[in-house]
């Protein structure tokens, strides 16, 4: 395929079978089917194949086919591997598998974004479309959270409720799941607020209201006010701070990437 990839022109139909081999190998690595990593030669052959398809007309129909297949690769992987691993799970087991699958998704995104980097440079930039990384993240949100969001949200809130009751929980797991929202590029805050923050604040208010009568009976006036403030504000502040911090990191990272591309 090295000689094929060095040609001046290549159609999508000619180049995709070789790219599919690379995709299949990457999925095999992620799924633990084999441990052979990509060699420098393999990486360059895959990148060059994409370049050869795109270079003659960077915004033409062959490139559109390549972008469509890039998206379909993630759609197929999520529906065939990710969703089946999550179906039937609940509570902490669901959250742990979700966190694992998100980490795997980021690995897959990182590699395929490198192979398909030429799409970002011209086709997606000129069409004002999301980058290859943003596209894969949005597909994860659409396909995974679109189906399981209620279960994920309820599992997280259940863990928070248990912590309010004085039980020990896996705080790192909760933060990892919340980070998924915050790692989804520029639209993260919108998803976080829509899918989780409103429900969390409502849950906090309900908890405080239910406990108010017992606190009034057993605590001094000052202690009562402190407890109400603690349960209504502390968790909200912590999660808002986490959100702002992650979004700032994303902005800084994007800024550094922009400087590098100059």
Name the residue among 237, 142, 249 with its Cα closest to residue 185.
249
Q: Alpha-carbon distance 127 to 70, whole Å?
A: 16
pLDDT value for 35: 78
Dihedral angle sign, alpha carbons of residues 32, 33, 38, 44:
negative
pLDDT value for 54: 95
Query: What digits encode the pLDDT tens for the residues 69-92?
Result: 999 999 999 999 999 999 999 999
pLDDT value for 260: 47
pLDDT for 48 beyond 80: yes
244: confidence class by pLDDT, cuts 50, 70, 90: low
φ, ψ of residue 52 to 5 degrees: the values are -65, -35
pLDDT for 45 beyond 90: yes
Which residue bears the tokens 């420098």? Answer: 40
Task: Decide which of 80 and 257 is more confident.
Answer: 80
Cβ proximity of 191 and 141 under 8 Å: yes
Judged on CB neighbours under 10 Å (0-12, 13-18, 19+), 53 is buried
Name the residue among 164, 163, 159, 204 with its Cα closest to residue 178.
159
Taking all residues of the chain, what is their mean pLDDT, rounded to a whole number?
81
Two tokens, residue 234: 């502390």
Query: Residues near 196 by Cβ (< 8 Å), separated by ≥ 6?
Result: 153, 156, 178, 181
Cβ proximity of 236 and 200 under 8 Å: yes
pLDDT value for 178: 83
Half-sphere exposure of 148 (CA within 13 A, CB side): 25
Name the residue among 88, 75, 90, 80 with its Cα closest to residue 141.
75
Query: What digits encode the pLDDT tens for the residues 122-171?
Result: 999 999 999 999 999 999 999 998 899 889 988 988 888 888 778 888 98
pLDDT for 114 beyond 90: yes
pLDDT value for 175: 87
pLDDT for 119 beyond 80: yes
Query: What digits encode the pLDDT tens for the residues 179-206?
Result: 887 787 555 556 666 666 666 666 666 6
């Amino acid at each position: 395929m090295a000689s094929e990839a060095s040609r001046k022109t290549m159609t999508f139909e000619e180049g995709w079978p070789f790219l599919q081999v690379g995709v299949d190998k990457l999925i095999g690595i992620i799924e633990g089917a084999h441990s052979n990593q990509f060699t420098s030669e393999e990486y360059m052959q895959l990148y060059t194949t994409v370049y050869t398809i795109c270079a003659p007309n960077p915004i033409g129909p062959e490139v559109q086919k390549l972008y469509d297949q890039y998206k379909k690769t993630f759609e197929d992987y999520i529906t065939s591997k990710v969703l089946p691993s999550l179906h039937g799970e609940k509570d902490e087991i669901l959250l742990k598998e979700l966190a694992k699958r998100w980490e795997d998704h980021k690995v897959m995104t990182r590699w395929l974004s490198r192979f398909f980097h030429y799409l970002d440079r011209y086709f997606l930039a000129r069409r004002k479309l999301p980058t290859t990384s943003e596209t894969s993240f949005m597909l994860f949100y659409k396909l995974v959270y679109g189906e399981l969001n209620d279960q994920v949200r309820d599992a997280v809130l259940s863990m928070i409720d248990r912590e309010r009751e004085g039980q020990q929980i896996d705080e790192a797991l909760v933060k990892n799941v919340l980070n998924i929202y915050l790692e989804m590029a520029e639209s993260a805050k919108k998803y976080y607020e829509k899918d989780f923050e409103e429900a969390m604040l409502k849950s906090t208010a309900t908890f405080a209201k239910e406990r108010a009568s017992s606190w009034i009976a057993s605590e001094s006036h000052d202690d009562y006010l402190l407890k109400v403030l603690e349960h209504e504000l502390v968790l909200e502040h912590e999660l808002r701070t986490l959100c702002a911090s992650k979004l700032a990191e994303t902005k800084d990272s994007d800024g550094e990437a922009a400087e590098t591309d100059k």
